[in-house]
A and B are shown apart, each in its own frame.
Chain A
Amino acid sequence: MIEFIYFGLEALIIILLALFIALLFNGIERKLIARMQARIGPPITQPFIDVKKLFIKENIVPDNAIPWIFNAMPLIALASSLLVLLYIPFGGMPALLQNYGDLILVVYIMLIPSLALAIGAFASGSPYASIGAQREIVIMISYEFVLSVIVIAVAWLFSLAFPQANAFSFATINEHAIWSVAGPVGIAGLLLLFISSLAVMPAKIGKLPIDIAEAKTEIADGVLVEYSGRNLALLHMAQATRMFAFASLIVALFLPWNLSNIFSLSGTLALIGDFAFFLAKVFVIMFVSGIFVSAASARLKIDQAAKCYISFIFLLSLIGLMLIGLDIML
């Protein structure tokens, strides 16, 4: 019983911390984009102010919406994006739920926010939201290929290197850097997979150039158009967390190095150092594939984006997988 309470407490701390960091990063992101566009931009605390304001605002449910689905979906979106964070090892710390699920489960859970967003939009009864939801689903189908290729490649490498360990488990991923188990050809393949995972990022989090499901100037925020008040606050938090979670996943898979090993730190110092370093890595990933790209590109159309993911990025990741296969055979 005590163990259970302790477990719950730990989960709560991680969730609150992750939420705080996700919103903070969102604020920094907005500020950085503003500076890139020669604007002053909102204060870094703006996402907190927005969420606080939205929570005290009226929550409007459209007349032709299906209320229970419409209201439940933002909650599901936020819960599932937070759940991902309990599986991903932060820095050197093993993940809280690492014995209760693996990489495949995490990839599935990460689908839920997109699905929830789409279902909620369909339930809102607005044509703009329906178009947004259709777009969200199409874009989800097209980038999911790439993610599955990445999972296969990672598991393949680990299963050959450590036959006795669970190749999909985050414990294994956390213990060994993936780059150390591959040969030179495999490293080239991993590099391609890393690039394709970065390319998936804008689609996964709905940022420019793939913010097609929201597309402010086309369909007036699409999937979010009917949401207001508490629901919108939850969705804002879910979006921010989703970005943080996906960046963390990329860091956990491809950039697993820690400061404590390099500088031989120990104890609390190692914990804090590793965590700070982890956050820095997550931020760099977010900056490279989320913030910088979104400030420097126009919005693609749905067919262009889908074509880009299904043909080009998918091909890139397949070549990566083949190179890894070649490396294993050699």
Chain B
Amino acid sequence: MRLSEKKKCSIAIGPIHPALKEPIQIEVKIEGEKVTDVDFALGHVHRGIEWIGLRRNPLQILYLAERVCGICNISHPLAFCTAIENAANIKVPERAEYLRVIYAELERIHSHLLFLGVAAHELGFDSILHYTWLVREKVLDIIEYLTGNRITKAVLMIGGIRRDITKEQIPKIKETLKYYEKIYKKLCDIFLDDPTIKLRTRDIGVLTKEQALKLCIVGPTARASGVKKDIRQDFPYAAYADLKIEAITPATLLNEIRGDVFDRVIVRLLEVKQSMDIIKRCLKEMPEGPIMYEPVLQKLLVELKQVSNEGVALVEAPRGELIHYIRMKNSEAPVVWKIRAPTYANMHAIPAILKDCQLADVPIVVASIDPCISCANRAIVADKNNIVLNQEKLHELSVKKTLALTKDKVKGEGND
């Protein structure tokens, strides 16, 4: 072989690879070190949660929703509750709305700190991984103090929240926030000024604003490219409408937007600060009052059983826009429960941002959209001959299903 001929080689990153925390297969074609083509495949950890949910009543689904994602386990039940509340026209007490915001923002702090550690680890900078995860313990401690659990908090309930934050608990939250104020400065120093981090992340994996808009990218990934979109700002839920949140872009700190990995890291760092401010405001402005719409769960269940309506909820999860759609039809279990996790939208950025990267950039660039694979997984559909159905066939099937559903909706009955 002549030297001028470049040999193309295909490398599979995943489903099991040290760079990935969850199974996804990213197939990169490389020329030397340069990535020429990228494809990815999902479906390694599909659990059929929606399917299970269609055989449970809403209170039972709440527990399932909490287990969709190990990290966003406030966002998912919050979205589910809001969807059901929208469907059933349940009015949530104001104090509960504020409490929901506090828990959601605590979750955001913990998720973003986790991401910063993972990003550092992908760069080989393990000292920062251990540092960020060490400081993350403090937020997990306060979550445990408030809810009784570090990860699966089980505080949300349809029509309210199950645990109040008492006056005695507030000083401890404030103490934690003060601790993070100090840590935040240090984290900024690390991520903004470290030369090796800058060398590895600046102008790598660039996603332009046009691409972000075209691919419908959501959350911090979109904001890092300069798209000012944030569900908390655009379609406020819970108490966010009172709090007047503004979407954060890298321009807030750096006066320029490049849409690279560095920007995506910085946006998340800035959002940690934003979340701290939101919690502080909530603690100050939170009104007194009940925290549950209906404390007797049997009554609530009976009420939900009467509902024949559909509800959509949009929630800004740490990774971006999370959508839950639910349709009730005078039955115990919902007829449709659909989850669109933010990673499912952001996945489509992967081929675009990996193009023309080096192989060494692949782990950090993939990690920079902060993928949560288990949220995003879809089943691979096969017919009896064990062939994966192609796009046309799937489209045909979904049109049929949609038609059946709309007919169903008009008539108010029919099979599903």
Contact = CB atoms under 8 A, between A and B. Distances in A.
A136 interface: no
Contacts of A215: 124, 360
Interface stretch (B91-99, B195-203, B295-303, B348-356): B195-203
Contact of A216 (B18, B200, B361): B18
Contacts of B194: 298
Contact of B18 (A38, A217, A301): A217
Contacts of B358: 301-303
Nearest to B126: A37
Interface string B16-41: 01110000000000101100000000
Interface residues of B, number: 31
B387 to A, nearest CB: 29
Contacts of B200: 298-301
Contacts of A218: 19, 359-360, 362-363
A211 B125 CA distance: 11
Contacts of A89: none
Given A298-B123, A302-B33, A217 B196 contact: no
B359 A299 contact: no
SS class of chain B's interface: helix, strand, loop or mixed?
Answer: helix
Interface stretch (B82-90, B127-135, B268-276): B127-135
Interface string A211-245: 11001111111000000000000000000000000
A242 B334 CA distance: 65
B122 interface: yes
A124 to B, nearest CB: 15
A38 B126 CA distance: 11
Nearest to B123: A298
A300 B126 CA distance: 14
Contact of A128 (B11, B120, B196, B197): B11
A295 interface: yes
Interface residues of A, number: 30
Interface string A19-37: 0000000000000000011
B9 interface: yes
Contact of B196 (A36, A37, A134, A209): A209
A209 B123 CA distance: 10
A217 B19 contact: yes
A258 B129 CA distance: 41
A296 B130 CA distance: 12
Given A38-B134, A298-B196, A127 B124 contact: no
Contact of B124 (A37, A130, A134, A217): A217
B121 interface: yes
Nearest to B16: A220
Given A217-B363, A300-B196, A304-B199, A38 B130 contact: yes
A112 interface: no
A39 B124 CA distance: 16
Interface string A24-61: 00000000000011110000000000000000000000
A131 interface: yes
Interface string A308-330: 00000000000000000000000
8 contacts: A131-B11, A212-B360, A218-B19, A298-B196, A298-B200, A299-B360, A300-B199, A301-B360
Interface of B: 9, 11, 17-19, 30, 32-33, 120-127, 129-131, 134, 194, 196-197, 199-200, 358-363
Interface of A: 36-39, 127-128, 130-131, 134, 208-209, 211-212, 215-221, 295-304
